[in-house]
Structure 1
């Protein structure tokens, strides 16, 4: 952990030249340092997502969380914005790629950047972190129980998503995956399939799987929270980013 940090809402130019809101947190001391794009979960650009962004700053990284729902519901309550995003089928993949690329470029342009940027996402954001690792110039990606990297949503599911596993040969950076063995999206079998595809493609990755943990085991404000899995998960994140983004 480092000393003081600062956090503020900023505006960045996202996909298609749209101005979107983002939450930026950074240490007060001088760099150089690596940076992280935090991709928020389906509940949206909310307090827990901002807390995670500050956690990265408290551990020596500059971090930014773009509001992926800025266009659907600018300035709205996170729950209302998430509802609006669900009603429209979620964030289109091409727009997500543009917003993450813009956030990565913004981070690299800040004073003190060492030029290295990683992504991390949870649930739908985990899939989006994997997608970014296929299409965006980033140095490391973390997928926290990303749903539908493998498999397709069930009938009636509000989000329109297609699987990405077949694109494993396109992975552009090292990948860390953190999964609960009691999860249904993704199931352990889904994780097996992704592991097999990445291995066959010769891509650099490491997966950690946790017993007695299901979906959203990092979420301290939910009954799904599993302290043992979350503590080890954070340990793996710091080790992974320390290797690929700089300590």
Structure 2
């Protein structure tokens, strides 16, 4: 694997769900490529520094990377304030997320130095969203789900924004799945991860799950007390190995 010290980073405009303009952050490695692509689906803390930095991290590792601002309709400004508003409104709808993410995938596939392969990556609510997208659409080649919350949902948790439990979409999963989970997490709990895995097995899907002792929710998040360095570094190794296998031209 080559590491790309040079890269181009910029904002681009996408036609999101129902044609609504949204902004996305892009990081491209220097050089002619062709490069595989990664579409990042940010978490409920929003279009945050962690996700902007992670977009650049993928470019450093030789991927075209894009992260759309799924919360742009809720306003501009401090990502924490925007995310708080979105959280108070019960999050965004799964349908809107799919429309916005499809625009990011389409942007990726239109790039002249793209190799034709796209992975999707998300954590927490973004992990849930990445899994949903990979079940609802057939235009991604690999899915990375980090501690996706509410993949397993009780009927009373369903509503207009989240009308179907993601686990019930498993039969339609269209690509290989990598899942990373902390055994001290409660959302998803180890019991919910067991159900998630059992349904993947039942449906005969290609997947890899790794579970970490001593790690809770968000153990990649270097800016928070829940960061678990040893488990996070091992997890990043799993992510890059998985994507290298599935996104080669």
Match for residue 140 of structure 2? 138
| CA distance in structure 2 between the partners assigned to 1:201 and 1:97 by the alignment | 23
Deviations 1:154-199 (A, max 9, x none): 98xxx96452112211101100000000000001111110111000
Give yes or no for contact 1:151–1:190 (8 Å, CA) kept in 2.
no
RMSD: 1.7
- Residue in 2 aligned with 1:184? 186
1-structure distance, mates of 2:12, 2:155: 34
Paired residues in the alignment total 243
Distance 1:174 1:54, change over 3 A: same
Correspondence for 1:111: 112
State the match for 1:78 in structure 2. 79
The equivalent residue for 2:96 is: 95
Q: TM-score, normalization: structure 1?
A: 0.94
Q: Give the match for residue 203 of structure 2.
A: 201
- Structure 1 distance, partners of 2:28, 2:178, is 23
1:1-247 pair list within 5 angstroms: 1-73=3-75, 75-136=76-137, 137-152=139-154, 161=162, 162-246=164-248
Counterpart Cα distance in 1 of 2:154 and 2:29: 40
Q: Give ranges in structure 2 of 5+ residues lacking alignment.
A: none
Aligned residues of 1:35 and 1:63 also touching (Cα < 8 A): yes
Q: Secondary structure at the match of 2:72?
A: coil
Q: CA deviation at 1:72?
A: 1.2
Unpaired runs of 5+ residues, structure 1, are: none
* Residue deviations 1:126-163 (CA, integer Å, cap 9, x gap): 100100111122110010000010134998xxx96452
Q: 1:153 to 1:80 in 2, by over 3 A?
A: farther
Give the 4+ runs in structure 1 shifted more than 6 A.
Answer: none
* 8 Å CA contact retained: 1:12, 1:102: yes
**SS of structure 2 residue aligned to 1:224:** coil
Q: What is the Cα deviation at residue 76 of structure 1?
A: 1.9
